[in-house]
């Protein structure tokens, strides 16, 4: 799965010859925080609302003001996880994507990245989520997989989080079965701590709603 498969349909770019006023109007129309600055199809950098509003002459070209030239860009064949890391590190709302010849081909928004991660993690599949805890030195992914498969389940996704303070590891599983009572008992018999369980039903694509809920939570 490549980030080039998750490009926004919207155009978040402006040309360096466009005016500051045009950029401000586009920011307002697009309801975004940044715009990608191009010279033809060559990626140059970013401008944001703060930079644009600080400009003395709104009729001046974008090339006359400071352009953010941090290395915020990805090749089309990079993984969506790379986009997630970059968006987090640089706190940007869009990630420019370039082709193999370093030409700009589009941008991925935070929502596009979230959709990609959701697909990778099988979040739209019905099943259950189980959060386990065990000692760091007792952790065995092969044993967990064996216990899941013994209950006629499949692991759709697995994530781990290490807690060095108590020498433990937290394992989050997504399995393709909603009735997991027998599986939970199996984990307990093998000395796993059941921290959380959640059943999921994929009846509709609520990615946009979950994204907005996440943004609302972050902005609290």
Residue 209 has pLDDT above 80, yes or no: no
Counting residues of the chain whose pLDDT is more than 90, the rounded percentage is: 72
Residue 203 has pLDDT above 50, yes or no: no
Strand partners, 160: 171
Confidence of residue 218 (pLDDT cuts 50, 70, 90): low
Quote the radius of gyration of the chain (alpha carbons, Å).
22
CATH for 3-118 is: 3.10.580.10
Which pLDDT tens digit goes with each residue over 50-101?
Answer: 999 999 899 999 999 999 988 899 999 999 999 999 999 998 999 999 999 9
Strand partners, 37: 14, 45
The full set of domain ranges for the chain reads: 3-118, 127-200
Q: What mean pLDDT do residues 139-167 have?
A: 92
127-200: CATH, from 3.30.70.260, 1.10.150.20, 2.40.50.140, 3.40.47.10: 3.30.70.260
Closest Cα to residue 20, out of 67, 66, 62? 62
């Amino acid at each position: 799965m490549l980030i080039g498969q998750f490009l926004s349909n919207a155009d978040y770019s402006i040309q360096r010859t466009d005016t500051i006023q045009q950029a401000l109007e586009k920011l307002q129309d697009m309801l975004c925080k940044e715009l990608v600055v191009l010279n033809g199809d060559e990626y140059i950098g970013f401008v944001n609302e703060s930079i644009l509003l600080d400009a003395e002459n709104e009729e001046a070209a974008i090339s006359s003001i400071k352009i953010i030239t941090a290395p915020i860009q990805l090749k089309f064949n990079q993984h969506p996880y790379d986009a997630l890391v970059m968006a987090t590190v640089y706190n940007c709302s869009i990630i420019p994507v370039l082709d193999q010849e370093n030409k700009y081909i589009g941008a991925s928004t935070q929502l596009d990245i979230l959709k990609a991660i959701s697909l990778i993690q099988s979040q739209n599949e019905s099943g259950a989520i189980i959060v386990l805890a065990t000692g760091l030195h007792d952790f065995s992914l092969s044993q967990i997989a064996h216990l899941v498969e013994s209950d006629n389940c499949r692991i759709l996704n697995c994530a781990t989080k290490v807690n060095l303070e108590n020498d433990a590891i937290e394992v989050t599983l997504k399995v393709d079965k909603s009735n997991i009572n027998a599986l939970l008992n199996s984990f307990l018999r093998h000395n796993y701590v059941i921290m959380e369980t959640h059943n999921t039903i994929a009846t509709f694509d609520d990615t946009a709603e979950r994204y907005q809920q996440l943004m609302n939570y972050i902005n609290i």
